[in-house]
Amino acid sequence: MHVHKPRLEQLKLVRLLISIYRIKAVRALFPVLMIALVYWEGQHELRGIRLARTLQELRRIPAQDILQMLGASLAAVAAMSAYDFLIRAHFRMKVGVFSTFRYSWIANTFNNMIGFAGLAGVGLRTLLYKKSGVPTSVLTPAIVFLSPVMITGLSLLSWASLFGILPAEGLLDEHHWLVFAVWGMALYLPLFVMVQRSSLFAKWINRGGGRTPWMTVYASVGSSLLEWISAGIAFSVIAEHLLGGVHFQPMMSLYVIAAIAGILSMAPGGIGAFDLIALLGIQQMGYSSERAMAVLVIFRLFYFVIPWLVGLVLAALEIGQQGIRLLRSSVVDTPLNTWQRIWGWPGQYTFLSDLGVWALGKLVLVAGLLLLLSAATPELLSRLRFMESLLSLPIMRISHHLAVVIGFMLVLLSRGISLRIRRAYIWSSITLAFGAVFAFAKGFDYEEALFLLFVAFLLWLSRSRFYRVSAPVSRHSLLWWLLLTSGIALSFDLLASYSHRGFFKALRPGAEPEWLQHHGHFAYTAVGGLVAAWLLLSMIVALRPNRRAEALTAPPDMDRLRRYLRTEPGNALTHMLFTGDKSFYWAQGGKVMLPFAKVRDKAVVLGDPLGPRSLVNDAISEFRTEADRYGLSVVFYQATPGFLPIYHEQGYHFFKLGEEARVELGGFTLGGKRHSDLRSVSNRFVREGCRFELAEPPHSPELLNELRSISEEWLRGRAEKGFSLGWFNESYLQLAPIALLRDAGGAVTAFASIAPGYDNGVAVSIDLMRHRLKSPNGTMDFLFISMLEWAKAQGYKSFNLGNAPLSSVGRNAGSLREEKMAHVVFKHGGHWYGFLGLRRYKEKFSPEWEPRYLAYPASLSLPVLTLDLVRLVSRRPPKERT
Taking only the tens place, the pLDDT of each residue in 474-498 is: 677 778 878 888 888 887 777 777 6
pLDDT band at 605 (very low <50, low <70, confident <90, very high): very high
Q: Among 532, 102, 143, which Cα is nearest to 333's? A: 143
Residues in a beta bridge with 598: 603
- Rounded Cα–Cα distance for residues 754 and 744 (Å): 23
- Rounded Cα–Cα distance for residues 460 and 26 (Å): 43
Q: Is the pLDDT of residue 117 over 60?
A: no
pLDDT band at 360 (very low <50, low <70, confident <90, very high): confident
Taking only the tens place, the pLDDT of each residue in 717-737 is 777 777 877 788 888 888 889
Lowest mean pLDDT among 98-112, 123-137, 553-567, 801-815: 801-815
Q: Is the pLDDT of residue 235 over 70?
A: yes
What is the identity of the amino acid at 201? F
Does residue 702 or residue 498 have the better pLDDT?
A: 702
DSSP annotation string for 302-344 = IIIIHHHHHHHHHHHHH--TTHHHHHHHHHHH-PPPHHHHHTT
**Per-residue pLDDT, 604:** 92
**Per-residue pLDDT, 302:** 87
The answer to whether the beta carbons of residues 637 and 869 sit under 8 Å apart is yes
Domains of the chain: 40-336 (no CATH), 346-551 (no CATH), 660-873 (3.40.630.30)
SS3 of 635, please?
strand
- Residue 700's Cβ-side half-sphere holds a number of Cα atoms within 13 Å equal to 4
Taking only the tens place, the pLDDT of each residue in 840-878 is 778 788 888 888 888 998 878 777 888 888 888 877 766
* pTM over 0.75, yes/no: no
The answer to whether the beta carbons of residues 318 and 116 sit under 8 Å apart is no
- Rounded Cα–Cα distance for residues 299 and 296 (Å): 5
Phi, psi for residue 633 in degrees, rounded to 5: -100, 140
Mean pLDDT of the chain: 76
DSSP-derived secondary structure letter, 603: E
**Per-residue pLDDT, 149:** 84
Does residue 817 or residue 678 have the better pLDDT?
A: 678
**Per-residue pLDDT, 500:** 59
Q: Is the pLDDT of residue 823 over 80?
A: no
**Per-residue pLDDT, 546:** 47
Q: Is the pLDDT of residue 419 over 90?
A: no
What is the identity of the amino acid at 90? H
**Per-residue pLDDT, 623:** 92
The answer to whether the beta carbons of residues 635 and 855 sit under 8 Å apart is yes
- Looking at residues 45-55, what average pLDDT do you find? 47
- Looking at residues 419-428, what average pLDDT do you find? 86
Does residue 482 or residue 240 have the better pLDDT?
A: 240
**Per-residue pLDDT, 217:** 79
For helices 355-376 and 393-418, the axis angle rounded to 10 degrees is 160
DSSP-derived secondary structure letter, 652: E
| Burial class of 858 by CB neighbour count within 10 A (0 to 12, 13 to 18, 19+) | middle
Q: Is the pLDDT of residue 232 over 80?
A: yes
- Looking at residues 600-605, what average pLDDT do you find? 89
- Could you tell me what percent of the chain has a pLDDT over 90? 9
DSSP-derived secondary structure letter, 79: H
Taking only the tens place, the pLDDT of each residue in 24-44 is 444 444 444 544 544 444 444
Q: Is the pLDDT of residue 229 over 90?
A: yes
- Looking at residues 262-282, what average pLDDT do you find? 74
Query: Residues 248, 252, 255, 261: what is their CA dihedral angle, to the nearest 10 degrees?
Result: -150
Taking only the tens place, the pLDDT of each residue in 283-339 is 888 887 777 887 888 888 889 888 988 888 887 777 654 444 444 444 434 444 443
Q: Is the pLDDT of residue 444 over 70?
A: no
Q: Among 156, 147, 269, 162, which Cα is nearest to 222's? A: 156
DSSP-derived secondary structure letter, 579: G
**Per-residue pLDDT, 634:** 93
Q: Is the pLDDT of residue 675 over 90?
A: no
**Per-residue pLDDT, 345:** 40
- Rounded Cα–Cα distance for residues 82 and 682 (Å): 82
For residue 872, the surrounding DSSP H or E stretch is: helix 862-873
Q: Is the pLDDT of residue 349 over 50?
A: no
**Per-residue pLDDT, 163:** 86
- Rounded Cα–Cα distance for residues 451 and 474 (Å): 32
What is the identity of the amino acid at 482? L
- Looking at residues 631-640, what average pLDDT do you find? 90
Q: Is the pLDDT of residue 816 over 70?
A: no
Q: Is the pLDDT of residue 160 over 60?
A: yes
Residues in a beta bridge with 850: 660
Q: What share of the chain is helix, strand, coil (3-state, %, to 5)?
A: 65, 10, 25
**Per-residue pLDDT, 512:** 52
**Per-residue pLDDT, 162:** 86
Rg (CA), the chain: 34
- Rounded Cα–Cα distance for residues 323 and 541 (Å): 29
pLDDT band at 206 (very low <50, low <70, confident <90, very high): low
**Per-residue pLDDT, 220:** 85
Taking only the tens place, the pLDDT of each residue in 54-108 is 555 566 677 788 889 989 999 999 999 998 898 888 888 888 888 899 888 988 8
Q: Among 578, 573, 634, 575, which Cα is nearest to 606's? A: 573
| Burial class of 92 by CB neighbour count within 10 A (0 to 12, 13 to 18, 19+) | exposed
- Could you tell me what percent of the chain has a pLDDT over 70? 73
The answer to whether the beta carbons of residues 583 and 595 sit under 8 Å apart is yes
Q: Is the pLDDT of residue 617 over 60?
A: yes
Q: What number of residues does the chain have?
A: 882
Give the torsion sign (CA, 36, 41, 44, 48): negative
Does residue 201 or residue 848 have the better pLDDT?
A: 848
**Per-residue pLDDT, 175:** 66
- Rounded Cα–Cα distance for residues 712 and 772 (Å): 9
Tell me: cis bond preceding 701? Omega within 30 of 0 counts: no
Taking only the tens place, the pLDDT of each residue in 734-768 is 888 999 998 888 889 999 989 888 888 888 888 88
- Looking at residues 516-541, what average pLDDT do you find? 65
**Per-residue pLDDT, 6:** 42
Q: Is the pLDDT of residue 787 over 80?
A: yes
